[in-house]
Structure 1
Amino acid sequence: MKSVCVLGNGQLGRMLRQAGEPLGISVYPVGLDADPAELPIKQSIITAEIERWPQTALTRELAKHDAFINRDIFPRLADRLPQKQLLDQLGLATAPWQPLESADQWPAIFADFGELAIVKRRTGGYDGRGQWRLTAQTIAELPNDCYNECIVEKAIAFKSELSLVGARNAAGDIVFYPVTHNLHQQGILYASVAHPQKDNEHQQQAQTMLTAILNKLEYVGVMAMECFVTDDGLLINELAPRVHNSGHWTQNGASISQFALHLRAICGLPMPSPVVESTSVMINLIGCKLDYRWLSEALVHLHWYDKEVRVGRKVGHINLCSADPARLDETLTRLTARLPAEYAAAVEWAKSQY
């Protein structure tokens, strides 16, 4: 039996553990403060559900581990500065950007980027946190500690957002899922839709981009690439060197989930292209209480993370899969009545995507 230790014990580690059971892989999600002496580290493959971590006894031990897959890639992609530099090196399209080092840069930034600029912390800053939308009149809102710790990007008038989840193994084989169409509200992913018929307009461009990244890094495992859709094609927004929220639909909508695919890739197991036969909708459950009435709908696959419910916190997700658009539509309509009011717009958006 193969053994995998996952650095991080949040919902992604939990879902990796669940995916490992039918594959005969023992997966151990571990907290950052775990005692390395109590874990099967020496005989395990090491992966991570998080991009960055503090120095602890465990992380210092893992830093020396020869089987820590992508060990040296995580810090490179966790920092937006070297991540953007990598994309520039590969000639891959992104929003115009630059490091933000001093308040003296602002006149030139607005001259180059226009009236609106997006500031992002180099590390962290996900789910609407650590990011600012600034004009020349609002730059005083930016905390002083952001200088030398952030990048600034031109605001993009994008048409929509999509992501591509793919995986590469050590032999260099790469497989992809169909692109996923995504809706964010207040910087948090609320809904995703994926189709069995590949979006040919964007699928090939996205695969070409992500293939270049995976091969350049000699990356092993699942990676997600988030993109803006513009009139001129795709612009890469973010890379995630791990399983990703926008790939959660694969748990019920694909023959191989992104979690099982990641384990296959890092463990050297067969990695065929996943089969997708029906439209999938994923609804993130954010800061809402568990409601078992959701299960009265036959299409609903509930994934509850068993976390304390807090405003803005991802506490679960619902997957719905069907080749019948009318049935999917009817289920989503009924489900909306059992979700908080703010989900109505996200559900209507999802319906418009198929």
Structure 2
Amino acid sequence: MKPVCVLGNGQLGRMLRQAGEPLGIAVYPVGIDAEPEAVPFQNSVITAEVERWPETALTRELASHTGFVNRDIFPRLADRLTQKQLLDQLGLATAPWQLLADASEWNSIYANIGELAIVKRRVGGYDGRGQWRFRQGEETALPEDCYGECIVEQGINFSGEVSLVGARSHDGKTVFYPLTHNLHQDGILRTSVALPTPNAAQQQQAESMLAAIMNELGYVGVMAMECFVVAEGLLINELAPRVHNSGHWTQNGASISQFELHLRAILDLPLPTPVVSTPSVMVNLIGTDVNNEWLSQPLVNLHWYEKEVRAGRKVGHLNLNDANPLLLKDNLQALVPMLPAEYASGIAWALEKL
């Protein structure tokens, strides 16, 4: 089995390494600043846990590596402008948008997209960073360096947010998990719920859209697609060409996790559709110290990233799944007094979804 080098050594690289161990796949997450001679990349398959990276000695070396899967796709999807252009090219539904080129455009922007504008940096920005919400007259607060470097979207009045995690093999086969319901607060994913029997129309629409995207790009591996739920169906919000936070529940709630599925795809191993037979809940741990009391609940699976705890930083997650929804709800409710108060609303939201 060929080894796999992961460009980036954060929690996603760590979980890819963990997924490779039972299959005998050596996975090496490496920092972008690593010295090339310290990385066993020559005979490896290369993947990445991040969409964009600076030029370093290592990334210069990998730029011509024939085993770097999706190498030329990453920059196209990392730029929100070229990502949106791809979706428009494929005729896939998104919020109305345009490039924000100059401050003189604001009057026409509000006339075209309505009273609420969402500004996003073309590159970088995540978990609510590099994004702004404006109503007419408030846009003067936007930093000058955003013009030409941001897109602006219509603020969408949505009833929910869902994501689809799927994978495509080298021969073009695609497989998907059930849709995941997501709750964001301050731009950060707080809680996810996946049900084994999703809304059939939404699942079909989402699978059709994500398959079209992956096939157009010739993408190989796991990709996540985040969508808004509106009366007409689903609107694509953003794409992530990698394993994704909203798919973490698959570690304990599916027969094959998203991390194993990605390794299977890029290494050209069999790619069956993962079996999902129970409801699952994922609770992101954000700026919260580890509490071993969480483990007193029999359904709680703790995934701790061993990172320094800082405000707003993802430091781990809790996965819970069971065929008995009452037991699942009891375990969720038992977590409330064990977590800071800001988690209560996310758990209450998950209980309503189950």
Per-residue deviation, 1:19: 0.2
Tell me the SS of whatever aligns to 2:128: coil
- Once the two structures are superposed, what CA deviation does each residue of 1:125-176 show, in whole Å capped at 9, x if it has no partner? 2101000001122111100000000000000000000000000011001000
Per-residue deviation, 1:211: 0.5
Tell me the SS of whatever aligns to 2:340: coil
Other-structure match for 2:311: 311
Letter in 2 for 1:89: Q
Structure 2 Cα separation of the partners of residues 256 and 272 of structure 1: 9
Other-structure match for 1:182: 182
Other-structure match for 1:277: 277
Letter in 1 for 2:86: L
Instruction: Tell me the C-alpha RMSD between the 2 structures.
Output: 0.6
Structure 1 Cα separation of the partners of residues 198 and 157 of structure 2: 24
Letter in 2 for 1:340: P
Per-residue deviation, 1:2: 2.0
Other-structure match for 1:90: 90
Determine if the alignment matches structure 1 residue 235 to structure 2 residue 235: yes
Other-structure match for 1:131: 131
- Whether contact under 8 Å (1:96, 1:153) holds in the other structure is yes
Alignment of 1:140-289 (within 5 A): 140-289=140-289
Letter in 2 for 1:17: R
Structure 2 Cα separation of the partners of residues 165 and 334 of structure 1: 29
Other-structure match for 1:105: 105
Other-structure match for 2:10: 10
Structure 2 Cα separation of the partners of residues 110 and 229 of structure 1: 23
Structure 2 Cα separation of the partners of residues 201 and 334 of structure 1: 34
Structure 2 Cα separation of the partners of residues 340 and 138 of structure 1: 33
- Once the two structures are superposed, what CA deviation does each residue of 1:252-288 show, in whole Å capped at 9, x if it has no partner? 0000000000000000001100000100000000000
Structure 2 Cα separation of the partners of residues 126 and 41 of structure 1: 28
Per-residue deviation, 1:232: 0.7
Q: Which runs of 4+ in 1 moved over 2 A?
A: none
Most deviating of 31-40 and 72-81: 31-40
Structure 1 Cα separation of the partners of residues 302 and 2 of structure 2: 28
Q: Percent identity?
A: 68
Letter in 1 for 2:119: V
- Whether contact under 8 Å (1:2, 1:24) holds in the other structure is no
Most deviating of 189-198 and 83-92: 189-198
Per-residue deviation, 1:92: 0.0
Structure 1 Cα separation of the partners of residues 229 and 5 of structure 2: 36
Structure 2 Cα separation of the partners of residues 117 and 81 of structure 1: 16
Letter in 1 for 2:6: V
Letter in 2 for 1:30: V
Letter in 1 for 2:297: E
Alignment of 1:328-347 (within 5 A): 328-347=328-347
Tell me the SS of whatever aligns to 1:205: helix
Structure 2 Cα separation of the partners of residues 245 and 185 of structure 1: 14
Tell me the SS of whatever aligns to 2:4: strand
- Whether contact under 8 Å (1:70, 1:220) holds in the other structure is yes
Structure 2 Cα separation of the partners of residues 252 and 16 of structure 1: 14
Structure 2 Cα separation of the partners of residues 314 and 289 of structure 1: 11
Letter in 2 for 1:5: C
Structure 2 Cα separation of the partners of residues 329 and 19 of structure 1: 28
